[in-house]
Structures are given as C-alpha cells and as structure tokens.
C-alpha cells in the first residue's frame, strides 16, 4: 500500500518542479538566514522541506538511472 504525501512532501515537490535542484540550495540558504536572525523554528521547518525535496530528487535520479 502506497503512503500518502505529507504537506511538506507536496510543497517540496512543487518547489522542485518550479525551480529544479536549485530549489534545494535556495531552501538551505533561506533556512540559514532564518536561523541567523533568530527564527529557529522557521529554520527547522525550511530544512524539513529542503530534506524532503532532496529525497524526492534522489528518488527521481535513481529511477532515471535504471532506465
């Protein structure tokens, strides 16, 4: 049984679709900025999205490598 996507995963996929792999880097930059200005919870949330995007990208790369 396939599991459903979480809101974080859905957002990560949308960002990847719009910005490609550069979206992951931009998310990490945004998280660093949020952390620097004292928004630690926001930084953690953005990192969670970045990690979901990276996992999705890695899964997609693995599938294309098998073709």
pLDDT tens per residue, range 2-52: 456 789 999 999 999 999 999 999 999 999 999 999 999 999 999 999 999
Q: Where are the domains of the chain?
A: 7-62
From the number of C-beta atoms within 10 Å of its C-beta (0-12, 13-18, 19+), residue 35 rates as middle
pTM of the model: 0.83
């Amino acid at each position: 049984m396939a599991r459903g996507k979480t809101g974080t995963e859905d957002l990560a996929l949308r960002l990847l679709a719009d910005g490609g792999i550069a979206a992951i880097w931009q998310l990490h930059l945004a998280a660093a900025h949020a952390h620097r200005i004292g928004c630690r919870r926001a930084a953690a949330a953005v990192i969670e999205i970045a990690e979901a995007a990276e996992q999705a990208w890695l899964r997609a790369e693995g599938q294309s490598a098998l073709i």
